[in-house]
Structure 1
Amino acid sequence: MTATGQTPDPAATARERYEVLAVASSAGGIRGLAVLLAGLGADFPVPVVVVQHLTRTHRTFIAEVLARRSSLPVKLAEAGERIGAGQVYVAPPDRHLLIRAHGVTELSTTELVHFVRPSADLLFTSVADTYGPRALVCVLTGTGVDGATGVTRVKEARGTVLAEDPGSAEFDGMPSAAVATGAVDRVLPLEDLAAELRDLVGAAQST
């Protein structure tokens, strides 16, 4: 009960607790993202921002591919837009995606991080700096160690970190590196991550 005697709205409480979900993946990530987004449902109440390592020299159809599996609309992120609830924003090829004050996107062509651009580390660090304890991040399948520095920053900012179970991931490099930092709060198989994320943000259970 609140001071006024009214019962708090669970959805409003979730929005106050978390304001963004940032997800990162690399090898095997298209399938991983498709499974995750399909499970989030159409009523997921916070924006979802995604870094998937992509070939830098080719036009990508990742937004169209993921939109076929997602109940949420999916688009490539554009510079200077304000992210909104119920929308998935994917980093374009060869652009770092960062989220700045007031949820405004920034695209950058600064140097590669761990040989990749876009970088999970830069996205995660930006949401940690912008949202602090209201940041929720998730590391999926992938090779390499991108994301490990970022999840550490999220945990330092008192945000929440999830990772796909390296033992069941298609490629275990990225989730293993994240788990090794000690900053991951929950480690789950891919098929269980969406339900956990829905629970964390207070989304109604799917029927």
Structure 2
Amino acid sequence: MSDPQYDAIVIGSSAGGLRVLLELLAFIPSSYPIPIIIVQHLLDGNDSMLAEFLDEKSAISVKEAADKEPIMKGFAYIAPPGYHLLIEENHSLSLSMDPRVNFSRPSIDVLFDSAAYVYEERCIGIVLTGASGDGSQGLNKIKLNGGLTLVQDPVTAEFSTMPKAAIQATAVDHIMTIDEMGHYLLSIVGGAS
């Protein structure tokens, strides 16, 4: 795979997200050269097995994000339940107990805002299925900072509210099915599409 022109992929999903995350991560090989950072809305107090579950089913290593952990290629990081997940300027992860944003902690907007600031045009933002508007403002910030924006086609989303909100808030670059998105993420790093 060639050297990527992007330094991070940030993904936000909510209701219906587990299935689409499984589908999307199925495309990503273990050697994928762009780290992936994910916020999936979870119920508070859940001792989440999400990272473990996705790790077992995916070629790329999936782990729950830890505070001050350096971001490495070949990994997908999941926000732990009850914590906002942010990207620091030194390309490490940080966890925050700050108040909920869009009724959510972790909030997709919080992750996306920090990614837009740190990575600018070297960031890819992806909004998937969900029943809230979380992620739409953050995706717009990624777009305004020169990053690439992808949204799941609302027609194919189990819950279309979140993709529709993102499309309304942002002049998104691509509206795609999960299948198209998976092939596209491979193609941008010179992998088979």
TM-score, normalized by length of structure 2? 0.97
User: Is residue 33 of structure 2 the alignment partner of residue 45 of structure 1?
Assistant: yes
Tell me the equivalent position of 1:58: 46
User: Is residue 181 of structure 2 the alignment partner of residue 204 of structure 1?
Assistant: no
Q: Contact conserved, 2:35 with 2:75, CA < 8 A, in 1? A: yes
Q: What SS class does the counterpart of residue 103 from structure 1 fall into?
A: coil
Structure 1 residue 62, shift from structure 2 partner: 0.1
* Cα distance in 2, alignment partners of residues 199 and 128 from structure 1: 22
Structure 1 residue 44, shift from structure 2 partner: 1.5
User: Is residue 131 of structure 2 the alignment partner of residue 143 of structure 1?
Assistant: yes
* Cα distance in 1, alignment partners of residues 110 and 19 from structure 2: 23
Tell me the equivalent position of 1:69: 57
Q: Contact conserved, 1:80 with 1:106, CA < 8 A, in 2? A: yes
Name segments (4+ residues, structure 1) moved above 6 Å. Answer: none
* Cα distance in 2, alignment partners of residues 72 and 176 from structure 1: 29
User: Is residue 125 of structure 2 the alignment partner of residue 134 of structure 1?
Assistant: no
Aligned-residue CA RMSD in angstroms?
1.1
Q: Contact conserved, 1:79 with 1:107, CA < 8 A, in 2? A: yes
Q: What SS class does the counterpart of residue 11 from structure 2 fall into?
A: strand
Q: What SS class does the counterpart of residue 15 from structure 2 fall into?
A: coil
Q: What SS class does the counterpart of residue 122 from structure 1 fall into?
A: helix
Q: Contact conserved, 1:35 with 1:69, CA < 8 A, in 2? A: no
Q: Contact conserved, 1:45 with 1:203, CA < 8 A, in 2? A: no
Structure 1 residue 106, shift from structure 2 partner: 0.7
Cα deviation per residue 1:60-98 (whole Å; 9 max; x = unaligned)? 100111112211011100000110001011000000000
Structure 1 residue 203, shift from structure 2 partner: 3.8
Query: What runs of 5+ residues in structure 2 fail to find an aligned partner?
Result: none
User: Is residue 172 of structure 2 the alignment partner of residue 181 of structure 1?
Assistant: no
Q: Percent identity?
A: 38
Q: What SS class does the counterpart of residue 164 from structure 2 fall into?
A: helix
Q: What SS class does the counterpart of residue 141 from structure 1 fall into?
A: coil
- Larger deviation, residues 183-192 vs 104-113: 183-192
* Cα distance in 2, alignment partners of residues 183 and 84 from structure 1: 30
Number of residue-to-residue matches in the alignment = 193
Give the one of 96, 101, 111 matched to 1:113: 101
Give the one of 2, 26, 31 matched to 1:11: 2
Structure 1 residue 42, shift from structure 2 partner: 2.1
Q: Contact conserved, 2:139 with 2:170, CA < 8 A, in 1? A: no
Structure 1 residue 43, shift from structure 2 partner: 2.5
Q: Contact conserved, 2:8 with 2:124, CA < 8 A, in 1? A: yes
Cα deviation per residue 1:160-182 (whole Å; 9 max; x = unaligned)? 00010001111101111111123
Q: Contact conserved, 1:51 with 1:123, CA < 8 A, in 2? A: yes
Query: What runs of 5+ residues in structure 1 fail to find an aligned partner?
Result: 1-9
Q: What SS class does the counterpart of residue 167 from structure 1 fall into?
A: helix
Q: Contact conserved, 2:43 with 2:81, CA < 8 A, in 1? A: yes
